[in-house]
Amino acid sequence: MAKRRFQYEVATGKLTLPVTILLSTVLWIVFSFFKPIPTLNSSYPFWQMLLEWVPGNVSGNIFCFLCYGVIAYLLIEFNNAYSIIRMRTSLQTSVYLLMILAFPFLHRLNIGCLVSLCTIISLYLLFRCYQKQQPVGYFFHSMLFMGIASLLFPKILLLVPVFLIGIYNFKALTMRTFFAGMMGLTLPYWFLFGHAFYHGKMDLFYIPFKELVCFQPLFSLNLGIPFYISAGFTFFLLLVSSIHYWITSYEDKIRIRAYLNFLIIFSFSTIIFGVLQVQYAEILLQVLLPVVALLMGHLFALSHTKVSNLFFIFSILLLVIIMCYNLWTL
């Protein structure tokens, strides 16, 4: 019973989120000042622009922390708007912040934090399309944020077909909706074209397209044991939460099942992408984490069996071990 009370109090308690935020903030500050992680270097022009705006390791870490904080807030709004967890809870946000905290290689300034932010906003707007009579505006803006993300990481466009599958399953795909989405997706590129043409730098306009069609050999990069352990743990949580949903899906409304089915399809599509193109796995892991946090929130908040209690405690202990190992290997 004590274990059951522990899981229930953590899942529904008012102190869970404040304690998680305080812990994340304190440890993030400690990591940033006493064990800073060097910023990733890249020749990609838009990445160089970001480095000019946010110079230095410490300022880069703070910028990433703010991005993750916005994503954490959006996860609360996600559940409030769509009732994915069938109750008002901030557990999904706490799970997300703890996973980010446990993976310190994500604390450095990188494209992934912005791509992840744009993607979660895009997903939020996509869910607004569910059985709407006029979903054109929502899908336009959803694809607009995917277009913005693609300027930083062009290969995120490979996930756009998953969004089309989603809006089709949401009974909102029409010719108007499709072309509105394509207009939103290409709008950032029209602005980029105007900027490049006006300044006589047309090569800048071509760069995202060159990056999109440039693929590396499969399994061509070794990202290190800490990353693979962290990614494996994330996949393990995704697999368990997906199985739990499939077993208990009859308890959810049809609309919620459509949302969760899409999140699972999106997650596994992202994983397949990351496995095939390992050099982008760190960016894709950041895209994946908010979705996994929603699914884990659904599992821990709605399941109160003895097995789920044991798994909850096991997951926390394993996350702490992974965090300690990742810090030790920095």
H helices of the chain, in order, are 2-12, 16-34, 45-53, 57-82, 91-102, 111-127, 136-152, 160-169, 175-198, 202-212, 225-248, 254-276, 281-302, 306-328
CA distance 267 to 221: 22
Amino acid at 177: T
Tens place of pLDDT per residue across the chain (330 aa): 444 567 777 877 788 899 999 998 888 887 776 666 656 666 566 777 777 776 666 677 788 889 999 999 999 999 999 989 888 788 999 999 999 999 988 888 888 899 999 999 999 999 999 988 889 999 999 999 999 999 989 999 999 999 999 999 999 999 999 999 999 999 999 999 998 888 888 888 888 888 888 877 776 667 788 999 999 999 999 999 999 999 998 888 999 999 999 999 999 999 999 988 888 899 999 999 999 999 999 999 888 888 888 899 999 999 999 999 988 887
Residue pair 100/289 in contact (Cβ under 8 Å)? The answer is yes
Distance CA(60)–CA(50), nearest Å, equals 10
20 vs 101: CA distance, rounded Å: 10
